[in-house]
């Protein structure tokens, strides 16, 4: 099994909880780290390693749900978030039971539209979750 990746939230970077044993995969908070490429390369590398695990296992158990719960992200972060979504889309194409839930505040139509754009470009159908309704 892949190891977990836990990164604590700061005022500049989101919290990351990727815990395969508990089936929890979430990025939440603001994303405007000082070194965006370095921050997201850690996440992309983890996903590559997790992908190897998924491809080597014969079980396709319960759905793997990636929750994106951003309050804000800058334009450079969006490039890496999209790269992450594209990797997830490739896993889904390979038959893995992966879903993306895109969380947004009721009055934050910009974040909803950003999620729809990420979904369109990555060719991965997201589920949109309005915060406070679930």
Distance, in Å, from the CA atom of 64 to the CA atom of 24, rounded to the nearest integer, reads: 8
Residue 45 pLDDT exceeds 70: yes
CA 73 centroid distance within chain: 13
Res 60: pLDDT: 57
Q: CATH number, domain at 61?
A: 3.30.750
What pLDDT, on the 0 to 100 scale, is given for residue 55?
78
Average pLDDT over residues 43-69: 87
pLDDT, tens digit (0-9, with 9 covering 90-100), for 86-106: 999 999 998 899 999 999 999
pLDDT grade for 134, boundaries at 50, 70 and 90: low
Mean pLDDT, residues 100-122 taken together: 96
Q: What pTM was computed for the model?
A: 0.92
The count of domains in the chain is: 1
pLDDT reported for residue 3: 87
Distance, in Å, from the CA atom of 132 to the CA atom of 129, rounded to the nearest integer, reads 9
Q: Look at residue 58 in the predicted model and tell me its pLDDT.
A: 63
Higher pLDDT, 76 or 61: 76
What gap in Å lies between CA 69 and CA 84, rounded to an integer? Answer: 14
Structural domain including 31 reads: 5-130
């Amino acid at each position: 099994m892949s190891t977990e990746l836990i990164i604590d939230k700061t005022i500049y970077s989101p919290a990351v909880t990727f815990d395969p044993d508990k089936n929890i995969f979430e990025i939440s908070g603001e994303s405007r780290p000082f070194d965006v490429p370095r921050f997201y390369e850690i996440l992309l590398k983890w996903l590559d390693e997790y992908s190897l695990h998924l491809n080597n296992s014969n079980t396709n158990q319960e759905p793997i749900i990636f929750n994106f719960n951003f309050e804000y992200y800058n334009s450079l972060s969006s490039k890496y978030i999209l790269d992450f979504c594209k990797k997830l889309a490739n896993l889904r194409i390979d038959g893995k039971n992966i879903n993306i839930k895109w969380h947004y505040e009721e009055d934050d139509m910009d974040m909803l539209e950003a999620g729809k754009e990420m979904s369109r470009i990555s060719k991965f159908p997201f589920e949109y979750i309005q915060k406070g309704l679930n």
